[in-house]
Structures are given as structure tokens and as C-alpha cells.
Amino acid sequence: MTENLSPIDTAKYVAAKRASEMVEDGMKVGLGTGSTAAWLVKCLGERVANEGLRIVGVPTSSRTAELAREVGIRVVTLDEARWLDMTIDGADEFDPQLNLIKGGGGAHLQEKIVAMASDKLVVITDASKRVDTLGAFPLPLEVIGFGWQATKVLVEEMLIGLSTPGHSSMLRMNGDAPFVTDEGNHILDLQLKSIENPRQLSMVLNQIPGVVENGLFIDICDTVVIGHGDGAVKVLNLSDQQTRPE
Ligand code: 5RP
């Protein structure tokens, strides 16, 4: 599965492999979305096939559901599973408090619901996603299609009011047409440059009519597994770091 991998794919693979080893027999597992999470699904599929690992998986997108079924993982909905032992997912950025930006793949709405319904969120990533301050990666904001241009104006006015270093936003496209999420919504990517107060921003964004969910994951992630191009893996646990305010 890993011959001829580039350093970046090696990093993603080794992080995913390490996280897959955290999954125990009988667990209900949230399955993230994106290229790193795809490695995770493949690693879990190998354990199902080779070790007889019995798990049920709750995918966070139609893409992940399709892959999970292909590799032999039993797929159920979140409503069927009700609560999960663990979710394993990728991220676009993580900071020293293990707060995240997610949604580069347009799946952060389902990803946040699934992560919040889990005892633990484990993020798998390569080292390039580590930042001191979130916000260089454009923050994804899922908005409903109805009146999205008015929502965009309200979001930008709110950002100006908060004096964020950047305040423009762009409708995410898929070729010539707006990108459509699994829930039938659109995505605005917010060019913020730097987010000084992610907790405040997350709460304020979700108050704007038309906004469904933002891609900030605050106080949700417990563990980050960082893969490196040479095959090394580092695991950061929030409990070891004790970096979150009381
Ligand atoms: C999808 C996500 C992904 O986890 C995030 O974009 C990272 O993706 P990749 O592993 O491909 O870099 O949030 O909505």
C-alpha cells in the first residue's frame, strides 16, 4: 500500500496508520474526510480484513462512506450509532491548544457533528498544518443557498467590525458552478490571515442568518498525530500539554 509514496503521502500514511492502531475491537468510530482520512479508512479496512477487527464506522461525507464500504468497513449512520467511541479526522490547521480549522474538503458540518458525538477526536496530519495562530488557511463557512450573497455581505461587515486582519470572502467553486456540500449548501472561504480570538469568532459567525456552521473546532480535539516524511510520528495529547485555559 505504501510503495513509492512521496514524503507528504508518507507523512499522511504514517499518521493514519498510528491512529488506526488506537481503534479497539467493538468500537464505533467516526471516519473523517480528506486525503489523510482516506489513508485511515484504508488502514482500518486492512485491520478488518487481516485481523477480523469488528468496528462500525460513521462516515462524515458521501466520499468517505463509499471508500469505507469498498474496504469492508460496516457503515452506519450517526443516528444508528447514537454515540461514538472515537472520531479520527484530518485538519487544515492546528494550533498549540489543539484548536483546528477544518473544511478544506467541504465536509466540516458533518465532521463537527460527528466529532461532538464522540468520546474523543483524534486528528491525523502532517507537520505542515501546525501554526502558532489559526487563520492563514481560509476559514470555510457553510451557508445555505438562499440569499447567500446577503449572507456574504453580513459576514464581511461583521469581520470589519471585529477588525480581523482580513475580511474578504469567496464563494467556493467546483469548476464553473458553486461547490455544493453533502447537505446541499454552499461554502464561503473567509480570508482572515490571522484569527486572534477563534472562540469569539466561531460564536459570532454562527449567529448570522444563513450561516450553517463554521470550520473552527474549538476545544474539540484531544489528540493530534503528526506524521513526517521520513516515517517518524509524534503524538500530541491535550492532557499532556495542559495548554487549554480552565
Ligand atoms: C475536510 C477536512 C479535511 O480533514 C481537511 O481539509 C484536511 O484534508 P487533507 O487530509 O486532504 O489535507 O476538513 O472537510
Mind listing the pLDDT tens digit for each residue in 88-130?
999 999 999 999 999 999 999 999 999 999 999 999 999 999 9
Q: Which of 24, 46, 51, 111 is catalytic?
A: 111
Predicted local confidence at residue 208, as pLDDT: 98
Q: How far is CA 235 from CA 20, 39, 223, in A?
A: 13, 17, 7
**Of 92, 189, 220, best ligand 1 pocket probe by most atoms within 8 Å of the beta carbon:** 92
Query: Does the pLDDT at position 243 exceed 80?
Result: no
Distance 240 CA to ligand 1 centre (A): 25
Q: Is the four-CA dihedral 59, 183, 224, 77 of positive or negative sign?
A: negative
- Taken as a whole, the chain contains a residue count of 246
Per-residue pLDDT, 246? 41
Pocket test for ligand 1, best of 9, 36, 108, 221 (most atoms within 8 A of CB): 36
3-state DSSP of 96-164: CCCCEECCCCCCHHHHHHHHHCECCEEEEEEHHHECCCCCCCCEEEEECCCCHHHHHHHHHHHHHHHCC
Burial of 105 (0-12, 13-18, 19+ CB in 10 A): buried
Confidence of residue 239 (pLDDT cuts 50, 70, 90): confident
Per-residue pLDDT tens digits for 170-212: 999 999 999 999 999 999 999 999 999 999 999 999 999 999 9
Kindly give, in sequence order, each residue whose CB lies less than 8 Å from that of residue 180, ignoring residues fewer than 6 positions away.
174, 186
Burial of 240 (0-12, 13-18, 19+ CB in 10 A): exposed
198: number of Cβ within 10 Å: 22
Measure CA 93 to chain center: 9
Mean pLDDT for all residues in the chain = 96
- Domains with residue ranges and CATH for the chain: 2-130+219-241 (3.40.50.1360), 139-212 (3.30.70.260)
Nearest protein Cα to ligand 1, atom 5? 91
User: Does the structure show a pLDDT above 80 at 245?
Assistant: no
Q: Which atom of ligand 1 is nearest to the CA of 108?
A: 14
Of all residues in the chain, the percent with pLDDT exceeding 70 is 97
Whole-number Å distance, alpha carbon 105 to ligand 1 midpoint, is 5
The per-residue pLDDT for range 19-74, each reduced to its tens digit, is 999 999 999 999 999 999 999 999 999 999 999 999 999 999 999 999 999 999 99
Q: How many CA atoms lie within 13 A of 59 on its CB side?
A: 21
Output the CA–CA distances (angstroms, integers) from residue 179 to 35, 60, 142, 175, in the order listed.
Answer: 18, 17, 10, 8
Task: Output the CA 48–ligand 1 centroid distance in Å.
Answer: 24
